[in-house]
Structure 1
Amino acid sequence: MNFRLQTRPFFICLCLILAFMVSPAGAGNLAVIHEVVTESQEGASSIIIRLIGHPAFKVIPIEEKQMLIAFKDTEFSGDIRVPETFAGDELIEDLKLEHKPCKVSCLVVKLGKPYADIKCGIKEVNGGLHIEIKSKAGDVKPEEIVGIEDRLLKVESKAASADAVLFTEAAAHYRRGKWEKATRILRKIIECYPGSAYLEQAYFLLAKSFHRMFDEEVSRHLIDITSLYQDAISKFPESDYVADAMVSIGNCYFQVKNYYEALAYYNAVLKKNKKGPAVPEALFQRGRVLVFLKKPTEAVSSFEELERRNPGTELATRGKLEKAKALFDMKAFKRCLATLQEIMAEKPGEVYKTPELLLYAGYSYYELGQLKEARDTLTAVLNYFPKMKSNHIVLTKIADTYSEEGVKSKACKLYRLAVRMYPGSEGALISLLRLADESEKAIPGNDRSRDGMLITGKTAREIYEDIVEKHPDSPLFDLVMLKLAILHHKNKDYDQSIATLQKLLAKHPQTPLKEEIKV
Structure 2
Amino acid sequence: MIFFLDGGEIRLYLFRSLEIMHLNHWNFYMLRCRSTILIVISLLSALAAIAQQPVPQPASARFPNIRASLDDGFFVLAEQQARGVLRAEPKEADKHEASLLLAHSLWGQKRYSEMLNLLKGSDGSPGHIYWRARALFELKQYGPAVKALDEAGDVMAESRYVPSALRLKARMLQSSGKLKEAEAACLQFADAFPSHSEWTANQFELAEIYTLQKRLPEAIGVYEGLAAQKSANVAQRAQLKLAHVLYTQGAAENFETARGLLKGLASTNQTRLAYRIDAYVDLAALEEKAGKQKEAGAVMRQAIRLSPDARQRVPLKLALVRLLLRENNTADALKLLEECRAEAPNETVAAELQLEKARALLQARLYDEANEAYQVYLDVASDPAGLAQAYFGKGLALWELERFTESASALDKAVKELKTPGDRADALFKAGDSFYQAGKFDDAEKRYRSFVTDYPAHANVPNALYQLGRALARAGRRADALATFQGLEADWPASEFSEKAALQAADVLLAGELWEDALAKYTAIGQIYTNSTAAVLSQHQRGLVLYRLGRYADAQLAFEAVASGHPDSEFVPQASYMRGFCLYLQGQVEEAVNTCQAFIKAYPDSEWTPEVIFWLAEQYFNQGAYADAEPLFLRIAADFKGHKLASRSLYWAGRAASAESNYVKAIERYSEVAKTYPESEILPQTRFAQGDALTELGEFARAVLAFEEIIKHYSESYLVNAAWGRKGDCQFSLAVDAPARYAEALNSYQAILDRPSSPMALKLQAEYKIGRCLEKTNVPDKAFSRYMNVVYTFINENVERSPYSVMWFTRSAFGAAALKEKEKAWLEAAQVYGRVLEANVPAQEEAAKRIEKIKKDNWLLFEESAEAK
TM-score tier (shorter):
0.3 to 0.5
More strand by share: 1
The TM-score normalised by the length of structure 2 is 0.29
User: Which protein has greater RCO, CA pairs closer than 8 Å, 6+ apart?
Assistant: 2
Larger radius of gyration: 2
The TM-score normalised by the length of structure 1 is 0.46
